[in-house]
Amino acid sequence: MNLNNNRRSFIRNASIGTVAAISIPQIVSAALAAAPKGKKVSIEKGDVILFQGDSITDSGRNKTNMAPNNAAALGNGYALMAAGELLLKHPDMDLKIFNKGISGNKVFQLADRWDADALDLKPNVLSIHIGVNDFWHTLTNGYKGTIDNYIADYKKLLDRTKAALPNVKLIICEPFAIMGVKAVDEKWYPTFDTFRKAAVDIAAEYNAPFVPYQAAFDKAITQAPPAYWTADGVHPSAAGAALMARTWLEAVKG
């Protein structure tokens, strides 16, 4: 995986219109083509599918609503969009889809609530998108965690999950950021790229599909300015959430 994404070049090309327009499916295909190759998760009849993560997954969900497949409980982001596509495509499969992301979470905070918000739901498919706050909060919130903490905490969480749910199908999503939009500046790099690389390595170690969000956004900003896809460089816009959902669906379908 090439971590030397030439973000300035992407932004410059997009701003001066030198890149020929390509479709979102082409953007997603290009991102997946550049990602590490691994097995894909098959969605099967009766699957319980769980989205876990931080605010990008949370996306304003109603945390008092515990019902599966409920629009309010799924939030207004990529989890809702991906769930909607799965439910539309498979009305006969009795899928039950949950979103338990919580804004601000880092890996150790997932662990603190993992029994109630993950293991007790007994998911067959577990998608995890975590890592932005594990770095970002070292810049803004005084968090002292390091890349080593991120890796160790993540592996401990996955080991715990596999011990409780040996047949769970894991999906590891890439933490991403878009340079030059409010919160994301030069101070993020190169350290943040080590968190992205860690997610790649963890997916490979646990034989899980990897969802290449950074590559998708890097391709997308050749078609529209970065602020079209995210409000602050971290949280996706409606278009950004749709791009995430499309990338997730393509990465996991069997």
Q: Could you give the residue numbers annotated as active site?
A: 55, 232, 235
One-letter amino acid at 103 equals S
Nearest to 88 by CA among 69, 67, 73: 69
The b-or-e profile of 165-187 (16+ CB within 10 A means b, else e) is beebbbbbbbbbbbbbbebbeee
Residues in the chain: 254
CA dist., res. 17 & res. 233, Å (int): 21
Closest by alpha carbon to 59, among 99, 2, 19? 99
CA 127 to CA 138: how far, in whole Å? 25
Instruction: Dig out the tokens for 123 from the structure.
Output: 């998911």
Of 53, 85, 45, 52, the residue nearest 69 (C-alpha): 85
Report residue 147 as tokens. 């890349």
DSSP codes joined into one string, 176-192: ---TTSTT--GGGTTHH
Q: How far is CA 211 from the centre of its chain?
A: 7
Task: From residue 120, give the alpha-carbon distance in Å to each of 136, 206, 209.
Answer: 30, 21, 23
- Rounded to whole angstroms, the maximal C-alpha distance in the chain is 52
